[in-house]
């Protein structure tokens, strides 16, 4: 088999890349070890920046997000027993974010690729990328028990944080330089309940951080900062609701049957460079951010926006300069998102073993940020995201 771009991974980065390439008349094949049902059924966060939604709309995959996505024009920060609204619309000239779960984005992209005659191979195994420093890199994989070989001009590693393609990029620096572990974890629940708040609530509390988010009118997503050693069994439903009500006091937390519990661990990671030979990494395969800034999927889309243009130019004219500059072009946004995610995380979480000094310093920082229009604007601009161009 031959194609122009072999894409490993059918998540937001891989599918959006395949879709954008198609718009430029470039062929691709997308491979994933997961089945279509697994991909479309895994419920993940979905806070879409304005630029992500705009790109979906401009390229013809924005119909449902426009119809059922919930536009939010602000968030609330709660600390010291009070809520402080960050008014995105007012602070950023009318911009906002759209709450639309990631698996819905994936459903839209898969449907569009298939309607456009796209080639997506679900449920493959033994995926192996080879010869990325030659002119003809290859992806080997097994499908329905049959070994296959895909010859490509270029390969995109879009296989998420458990990536295998990243290992093919030699690191000039020790990798640890770009890695940070946090002593925090989030306990996330999905509950069948009405919404507790019209906007997302990020709460600082001496017991730890809490976040009130939503998936739909009837399904709510809530998180509690917990010890990274905690497991799902440590948290009964009663304990969860009681702790949420303590940490988010002042908001009427509406409960209901909890149908999913999970513990999320925090990491920051950047692979630099994001490319090697004819292999280009995008999304979580190249970088991971803690969830506090809600940046993960948006960064994946921003990466492939840059990469798709560079690839299109290469196929149209043979000009490699965009491809050569991919890392340099994509990385500043990645590091800004790393900084923002780290900042939100460190400002809002209980630091294990912290002194009274640390707690009061955090409260003073939150006070400084929310009291000043300049402080609120800095937070708002980063949260809604800067334009892709």
Residues that bind ligand PHB in the complex, under the rule CB under 6 A: 45, 47, 200, 213, 221, 291-292, 294
Q: Which of 19, 295, 305, 349 is catalytic?
A: 295
**352 given a catalytic annotation:** no
- Which CB atom, from 107 or from 309, has the smaller least distance to ligand PHB? 107
- Which CB atom, from 44 or from 178, has the smaller least distance to ligand PHB? 44
- Which CB atom, from 45 or from 359, has the smaller least distance to ligand PHB? 45
**387 given a catalytic annotation:** no
CB of 45 to ligand PHB, least distance (A): 3
Q: What is the 3-state secondary structure (H, E, C) of the chain?
A: CECCEEEECCCHHHHHHHHHHHHCCCCEEEECCCCHHHHHHCCCCCEECHHHHHHHHHCCCCHHHHHHCEEECEEEEEECCEEEEEEHHHHCCCCCEEECCHHHHHHHHHHHHHHCCCEEECCCEEEEEECCCCCCCEEEEEECCEEEEEECCEEEECCCCCCCCHHHCCCCCCHHHHEEEEEEEEEEEEEECCCCCCCCEEECCCCCCEEEEECCCCEEEEEEEECCCCCHHHCCHHHHHHHHHHHCCCCCCCCCCEEEEEEEEEEEEECCCCEECCEEECHHHCEECCHHHCCHHHHHHHHHHHHHHHHHHHHHHCCCHHHHCHHHHHHHHHHHHHHHHHHHHHHHCCCCCCCHHHHHHHHHHHHHHHHCHHHHHHHHHHHHCCCCC
**265 given a catalytic annotation:** no
- Which CB atom, from 210 or from 270, has the smaller least distance to ligand PHB? 210
- Among 126, 251, 130, 266, which residue's Cα sits nearest to residue 194? 251
- Which CB atom, from 294 or from 302, has the smaller least distance to ligand PHB? 294
**295 given a catalytic annotation:** yes
- Which CB atom, from 49 or from 153, has the smaller least distance to ligand PHB? 49
CB of 121 to ligand PHB, least distance (A): 29
| Catalytic residue numbers, as ranges | 72, 202, 291, 295, 383
């Amino acid at each position: 088999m031959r194609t122009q771009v072999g894409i490993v991974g059918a998540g937001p980065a891989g599918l959006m890349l395949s879709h954008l390439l198609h718009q430029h008349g470039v062929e691709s094949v997308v491979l994933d070890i997961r089945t279509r049902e697994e991909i479309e059924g895994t419920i993940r966060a979905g806070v879409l920046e304005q630029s992500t939604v705009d790109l979906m709309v401009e390229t013809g995959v924005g119909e449902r997000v426009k119809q059922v996505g919930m536009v939010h024009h602000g968030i609330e920060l709660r600390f010291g027993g009070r809520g402080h609204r960050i008014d995105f619309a007012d602070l950023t000239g009318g911009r906002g974010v759209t709450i639309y779960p990631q698996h819905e984005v994936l459903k839209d992209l898969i449907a569009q690729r298939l309607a456009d005659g796209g080639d997506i191979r679900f449920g493959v195994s033994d995926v192996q990328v080879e010869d990325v420093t030659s002119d003809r890199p290859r992806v080997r994989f097994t499908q329905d028990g049959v070994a296959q070989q895909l010859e490509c001009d270029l390969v995109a590693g879009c296989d998420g944080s458990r990536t295998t393609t990243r290992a093919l990029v030699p690191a000039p620096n020790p990798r640890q330089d770009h890695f940070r572990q946090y002593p925090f974890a989030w306990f996330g629940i999905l509950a069948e309940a009405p919404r507790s708040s019209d906007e997302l609530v990020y709460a600082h509390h001496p017991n730890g951080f809490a976040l009130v988010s939503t998936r739909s009118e009837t399904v709510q997503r809530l998180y509690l900062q917990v010890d990274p050693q905690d497991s799902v069994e440590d948290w009964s439903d009663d304990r969860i609701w009681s702790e949420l009500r303590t940490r988010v006091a002042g908001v009427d937390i509406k409960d209901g049957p909890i149908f999913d519990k999970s513990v999320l661990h925090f990491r920051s990671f950047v692979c630099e460079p994001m490319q090697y030979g004819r292999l280009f990494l995008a999304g979580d395969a190249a970088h991971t951010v803690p969830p506090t800034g809600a940046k993960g999927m948006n960064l994946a889309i921003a990466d492939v926006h840059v990469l798709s243009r560079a690839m299109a130019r290469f196929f149209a004219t043979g000009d490699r300069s965009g491809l050569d500059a991919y890392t340099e072009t994509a990385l500043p946004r990645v590091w800004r998102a790393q900084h923002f995610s780290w900042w939100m995380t460190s400002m809002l979480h209980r630091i294990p073993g912290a002194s009274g000094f640390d707690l009061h310093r955090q409260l003073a920082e939150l006070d400084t940020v929310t009291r000043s229009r300049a402080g609120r604007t800095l937070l708002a601009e980063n949260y809604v995201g800067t334009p892709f161009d």
